[in-house]
A = this chain, B = another copy of it.
Amino acid sequence: MGNVLVAQSGGPTVAINASLAGVIEGTLGSRYDKIYGSINGILGIKNDNVIDLTAVVANDPRFLKRLKTTPAMYLGSCRFKLPGVDSNDPIYNTLFDQFNKYQIEAFFYIGGNDSMDTVDKLSAYAAKIGSNIRFVGVPKTVDNDLCVTDHTPGFGSAAKYIATSTMEVIFDAQIYDNPSVTIIEVMGRDAGWLTAATALAKNECCDGPDLIYLPEVPFDRDKFIQDLANLLKEKNNIVVAVSEGIRDDKGEYISAATGTLDNFGHAQLSGAGKTLEYLVKDKLGVKVRSIEVNVLQRAAAHMSSLTDINESEAIGKKAVDIAEEGVTGAMVTMERISNAPYEIKLNYAKIHDIANEAKEVPQDWINPEHNGVTSDMVMYLKPLVIGLPDVEYKDGLPVYVSREN
């Protein structure tokens, strides 16, 4: 009887710990013996910073339920890219020695594109040296930019938080009877999925954002000002959602255009939202404010999607299932069977076809004016934000778990 090892890597989401809970639950119900956790991704294996998760679960009956709704990464993260499999780099020897020391039969890596690259290389190296260890990737990213899977764990919760916050910003913006422009800057350097989620704020009780700009199409400053000027003839309070990654037709980030200087003489880059705030103030002279949603969009576990949390957990369990079946070098994926009723099927795909490729918003889900999204996009997004997990509260605040406390 062998053991399994799990680690987390890349930027945080609120659903990565639900996937960790799923991997733990899957292991407890499997033929595997213990489950170990590597601290700070693959670096924990290298540095022998490994904990016994079987013991953690045994010591605290509330641990798994709390873990499911805890934001960020219980095991910590790293940004570490493995060298090529044929590089003869000693790190591979080190890692496989560690796997043997802990009698590891399967390794699960919860992360984004870079983590999938690691799984790909480790499985290739295992094949090269004739090792039977299984390497399975468990996807996560708020950006929703992984290929092959319908959507990524973590995205639905971020989308829900962003859509709700957009509604609340719109209510806030509408109280005065004077012209105003409010710009919400949403994460997404290359993919506009999260910014598109602001469209969910258009519903029976809210008009939604008036304009939405994604990085998949070039951003035209003059057209933007014209869009605003037209709208201001019809209504007073305009709310705009922009992706941090919008670029002009030369491919230059809008955020790079301002030459701001701090008081030490360093050039500082303003974000897209702040840059457009200056532009609107200059060109239209109306009251204008920009809001950067910032890290809260990937950390706000108090507003996560039950659908996302449950799927993330299921994907963690599925990873253990396919490892037991002998699958390696693969990532668990979701296929959408139908929108209404919403139904997905878990599957897996060879990582070699996924890693290092990004999935952008399709051009035909962006409106012809390039300032909004289509109903197809809204239909795609809608099921992903349904439901609120049962988060435990104490003294008015959520209860989360951490290794230290």
User: A residues engaging B (CB < 8 A)?
Assistant: 12, 40, 43, 70-73, 76-79, 160, 163-165, 167-169, 171-172, 174-177, 200-201, 203-207, 257-264, 266, 268, 270, 275, 278, 281-282, 289, 291-292, 294-296, 298-303, 305, 307, 382, 385-388, 393-402, 404-405
Checking B40, B261, B400 against A205 with a beta-carbon cut-off of 8 angstroms, the contacting residue is B400
Which 3 residue pairs of A and B lie closest in terms of their CB atoms, listed nearest first?
A385-B396, A72-B171, A168-B299
Q: Quick check: A397 and B167 within 8 Å, CB to CB?
A: yes
| Bound form: Cα–Cα A212–B77 in Å | 27
| Bound form: Cα–Cα A161–B16 in Å | 23
- Select the residue from A70, A175, A278 with max chain B CB neighbours within 10 A: A175
A-B contact pairs, 11 of them (CB 8 A): A40-B177, A76-B176, A77-B175, A164-B398, A167-B397, A257-B263, A260-B261, A262-B270, A263-B275, A263-B278, A264-B282
Contact partners of A394 in chain B: CB under 8 A: 203-204
Q: Quick check: B295 and A174 within 8 Å, CB to CB?
A: no
Checking B171, B292, B298 against A402 with a beta-carbon cut-off of 8 angstroms, the contacting residue is B171
| Bound form: Cα–Cα A176–B307 in Å | 28
Checking B257, B385, B395 against A386 with a beta-carbon cut-off of 8 angstroms, the contacting residue is B395
Q: Quick check: A295 and B299 within 8 Å, CB to CB?
A: no
Contact partners of A163 in chain B: CB under 8 A: 396-397
| Bound form: Cα–Cα A307–B291 in Å | 28
Give the shortest distance, in Å, between A125 (CB) and chain B (any CB): 24
Contact partners of A282 in chain B: CB under 8 A: 262, 264, 266
| Bound form: Cα–Cα A295–B172 in Å | 8
Q: Quick check: A40 and B176 within 8 Å, CB to CB?
A: yes
Contact partners of A207 in chain B: CB under 8 A: 404-405
Given A203-B394, A266-B282, A291 contacting B299 (CB threshold 8 A)? no
